[in-house]
């Protein structure tokens, strides 16, 4: 009498092969989802920076965006008539997107728009997710926001001045339009 309990070795190999093929097919989709979330968070940040700039001009009041790398968030503040900065909104990065770094000329991690919508300091903001990075640059003066460098090469940047990718916008030592 034959014992038919359990799985055969051939059956297990076939099942394992099917699982591996499915995992290999899903890997690019995961990277695509990471890219989607990263681009979405960059777009939200870019829109909030532009909104703060427009409101600074429209209301004639200074707007300051303060970045908190530790808590993965940023706060938009407005100067009231008494000269005190009041918090308007606080935004946390979602879906595993992290605030890798914020670079300004000073030690403060801020973007400041004066009542004319101008900035006194250029600022570089790097967001990351799943080996992908995207850089936003707020230029000196007009405060325009530029986006570049959504690739995995920038994960290997060697210093604060150059990230290592071939994209000219990734030169951290200069600011576009400045």
- What are residue 111's DSSP bridge partners? 65
Residue 104 confidence (pLDDT) above 90: no
Q: Whose CA is closest to 103, among 178, 155, 175, 177?
A: 175
Over the stretch 2-43, which tens digit does the pLDDT of each residue have? 666 777 888 888 888 888 888 777 666 666 788 888 889 999
CATH for 28-170, options being 3.40.640.10, 3.40.50.740, 3.55.40.10, 3.30.70.890: 3.55.40.10
Q: Does residue 101 sit in helix, strand or coil?
A: strand
Mean pLDDT over all residues of the chain? 78
pTM of the model as a whole: 0.70
- The burial class, CB within 10 Å (0-12 / 13-18 / 19+), for 63 is buried
Over the stretch 127-145, which tens digit does the pLDDT of each residue have? 988 888 888 888 888 888 8
């Amino acid at each position: 009498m034959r014992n038919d309990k359990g799985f055969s070795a051939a059956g297990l190999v076939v099942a394992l092969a099917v699982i591996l093929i499915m995992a290999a097919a899903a890997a690019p989709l995961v990277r695509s989802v990471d890219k989607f979330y990263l681009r979405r968070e960059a777009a939200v940040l870019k829109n909030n920076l532009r909104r703060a700039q427009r409101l600074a001009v429209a209301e004639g009041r200074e707007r300051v965006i303060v970045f908190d790398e530790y808590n993965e968030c940023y706060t938009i503040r407005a100067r009231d008539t008494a000269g005190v900065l009041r918090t308007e909104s606080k935004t946390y990065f979602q879906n595993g997107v992290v605030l890798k770094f914020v670079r300004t000329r000073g030690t403060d991690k801020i973007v400041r728009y004066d009542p004319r919508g101008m900035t006194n300091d250029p600022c570089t903001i790097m967001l990351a997710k799943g080996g992908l990075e995207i850089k936003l640059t707020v230029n000196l003066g007009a405060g325009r926001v530029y986006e570049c460098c959504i690739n995995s090469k920038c994960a290997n940047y060697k210093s604060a001045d150059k990230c290592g990718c071939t994209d000219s916008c990734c030169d951290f030592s200069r600011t576009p339009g400045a």
